[in-house]
Amino acid sequence: MDSLFDSVAASELVNELRVNFYKGTTRSYEWRVTQIKSMIKMMEDHEQDIVASLRQDLDKPEMESSIYEVAMLKSACKLALKQLKNWMKPEKVKTSLTTYPSSAQIVSEPLGVVLVISAWNYPILLSLDPVLGAIAAGNAVVLKPSEVSPASSALLAKLVPEYFDNSVIRVVEGAVSETSALLEQKWDKIFYTGNGRIGRIVMAAAAKHLTPVILELGGKSPVIVDSGIDLKTSVRRIIAGKWCCNNGQACISPDYVLTTKDYAPKLVEVLKTELENFYGKNPMESKDLSRIVNSNHFARLTKFLDDDKVAGKIIHGGERDESNLRIAPTILLDVPLNSLIMKEEIFGPLLPIITVDKIEESFGIVNAGTKPLAAYLFTNNDKLKEQFVSTISAGGLVVNDTTLAVSTLPFGGVGESGMGGYHGKFSFDALSHKKAVLYRGLSGDAAVRYPPYTPGKLNLLKALMGGSILGIIRALLGFSKA
């Protein structure tokens, strides 16, 4: 937005959208479908513009941009178009004897005006996927893209008004002051993707208005590697989740590896071989690796590598080019658990490997930290899989792969990795109010619920609440205990 966007402008924007929301346009199935189709058309018309903006912001490879930002979003839109009528249908539920005769249903209704604050690492997908959920649920929505990816933010600010209903769908560009102005307003829900520090600020601002939040944060997502597996396939999948996803700058990117002391040498050898197969002998020149987003994040990652506790632990990579914001895929072996790199989410191309005597010891190490957004296990051992699922608390678990998400499962964190889940119907549900509706007729009114209260009425009501047919009969016959 060209003019100053302060608290007054933010208030006017929210009020305007709220007035337009109450006109009821967004509630119709037809409006929602039209907007979702417009999202698909926007992606199709401007795929190369999106690829170019991502190349400018992150030097992201075209394949990653086209698949993880464009194709994934189009797939989510098509699922919403296919399922939206079913999602919108009231859900019939059973009633009890106490309300007989009656019927009941759960009605999904729009929340109102939603704020989406998105992240810089997948600036198209993580902006428009929550907006898709807000539209599918029938809300008005304001999108605040991340200023850390300025080209993508500018592209969204240009395209959204061209393709969407501008009376209820807006984009606000800017940095801290604009975001602060937005957070001062009363919203019906806030959807934030980013780090825990800003997540706390968002939640504190929302609490002033009792506004519910969805926080998609992150954490240190572990990969536990058991022995006796197809190591080449497993390693390729670890690399795909780590370096093929924005060069480690992803919230569900593998953060560190846990394996046994005996198996670590084999794992490291295959990691080195496959990294060379993927990125060549000089990965700093590879066109298939994103760069680090900016100098601040480059300095943060460099600080991890320069920590005295890990400086001698680098066994592969470690090359850096500050002028081009590039760091090679780097493997560190046996870093101390109290080192800086193991205390914070890495969010970059560095992969520490922690060794244990027995693979089961990995679970204790994972659970000693905060709950991660994702956790991964590679094993053929069914007992270990069961132990992994029952022992590890994380936003989501994947066995024998990394960073995969499917629309039939919720995507979201737990504890410090976030709250609330989305994707597919979970997006629709997260951005809807589930309104309880009970229908009763006026005939067959029972005097038992009204004064004067008597022991007989008390016994009958207890029996009705208990749901026992025999107890109801006994109460009606006048027995003192139903």
Catalytic residue numbers, as ranges: 216, 251
Residue 359 carries which side chain, given as an amino acid letter?
I
Residue 232 carries which side chain, given as an amino acid letter?
K
Which residues fall within 8 angstroms of residue 98, CB to CB, at 6 or more apart?
464, 465
Polymer length of the chain: 482
Token output for 186: 């009363």
Going from the C-alpha of 319 to that of each of 277, 314, 315, the distances in angstroms are 18, 10, 12
Peptide bond into 61 cis (omega under 30): no
CB distance 407 to 424 below 8 Å: yes
CB distance 237 to 249 below 8 Å: no
Token output for 331: 């493997």
Which residues fall within 8 angstroms of residue 150, CB to CB, at 6 or more apart?
57
How far apart CA 333 and CA 330 sit, in angstroms, is 10
CB distance 330 to 305 below 8 Å: yes
Residue 422 carries which side chain, given as an amino acid letter?
Y
Which residues fall within 8 angstroms of residue 333, CB to CB, at 6 or more apart?
264, 268, 313, 315, 352, 353, 355
Specify the 3-state DSSP secondary structure of 411.
strand
In a 10 Å sphere around its CB, with 0-12 CB exposed, 13-18 middle and 19+ buried, how is residue 209 labelled?
A: middle
Residue 155 carries which side chain, given as an amino acid letter?
L
Residue with the two structure tokens 């807000």: 134
DSSP state of 168: T
How far apart CA 341 and CA 309 sit, in angstroms, is 9
Peptide bond into 452 cis (omega under 30): yes
How far apart CA 22 and CA 311 sit, in angstroms, is 59
- What is the bridge-based pairing of β-strands 411-412 and 421-422? antiparallel
